[in-house]
Structure 1
Amino acid sequence: MDIKTATALHRLRLVSVPEALSFPALLIFGSLLSRISDIDLVMPLGVLHAVLFLLYLLMLAVVWIRAKWSVKKVALFFVLAVLPFGGLYGDKILKRDERDGVIASRARKAGVTAA
């Protein structure tokens, strides 16, 4: 894995957790707050969630191109982004892929080959 691919995976990880938490935490909180008080935060929190989702999709597209992911894997991460808390599971997968890529890269630099 080259540095650009590792960076793209890391950026997707950085966006996946806030995006995963933005729907249940922000939008449900805003909806409840608007029902029990005169404060209506649904629109600004909805915009924040939308920006995080679009940023996630942009980072997913970059990883798709850089890491040469299959359509099946990209579709999985898209579905995980749509599900509440799904991005947390996606982050776990990305963390494992990122760690494995770094280990493989270090092994290649050291001249170690898989047996």
Structure 2
Amino acid sequence: MKKLFTTNIGRLRIIGFLEGISLLALFFIAMPLKYILNDATMVKSLGPIHGSLFLLFIVNTLSVGISEGWKFKETTWKVLLACVIPFGTFYIDKKILSTNTR
């Protein structure tokens, strides 16, 4: 667990997890509340949090890609694409990021 906080990939994994949770909460909780119950409170509060985590994930992905020597066409684009697909960050964590932290 300590390794997650001390390595660049570990921090990227944590940010990816938080970004994935915020995306799912936005899609499956906040947006239905907004469009079904006409209550935009959750979208207004969760939207900026998700946006910040999204940008942090992108910046950290590029930083880790450069420091780890990832080829953009092989790895980096997959990690970047994962942050716009629901459950994508969890999949990419399992397939790519967790294998690079061992």
Work out whether residues 15 and 56 of structure 1, in 8 Å CA contact, stay in contact via their aligned partners in 2.
yes
TM-score of the superposed pair, with normalisation by structure 2: 0.81
Question: How far does residue 97 in structure 1 lie from its aligned partner after superposition?
Answer: 1.3
Shift of 1:33: 2.2
CA 1:36–1:89: 2 relative to 1, 3 Å: same
Q: Specify every segment of 5 or more residues in structure 2 that has no aligned partner in the other structure, as ranges.
A: 1-5
Q: Which amino acid aligns with 2:101?
A: E
Q: Name the CA shift for 1:38/1:25 in 2 (closer, same or farther; >3 Å).
A: closer
RMSD across aligned C-alpha pairs, in angstroms?
Answer: 1.9
Residue of structure 2 in register with 1:96 after alignment: 99
Give the letter aligned to residue 57 of structure 1: I
Match of 1:49 in 2: 50
Q: How far apart are the structure 2 equivalents of 1:15 and 1:91?
A: 11
Question: Normalising to structure 1: TM-score of the pair?
Answer: 0.73
Identity of aligned residues (%): 34
Gaps of 5+ in 1: 1-5, 100-115
Residue equivalent to 1:107: none
**Structure-1 separation of matches of 2:43 and 2:54:** 16
Structure with the bigger RCO (C-alpha within 8 Å, sep 6+) is 1
CA distance in 1, matches of 2:18, 2:60: 13
The size of the alignment, in residue pairs, is 95
Residue 3 (structure 2) aligns with: none
- Computing the radius of gyration from Cα coordinates, the structure with the larger value is 1
Deviation at 1:66, TM superposition (A): 0.7
Give SS of 2:101's match: helix
Deviation above 4 Å: which 4+ runs of structure 1?
A: none
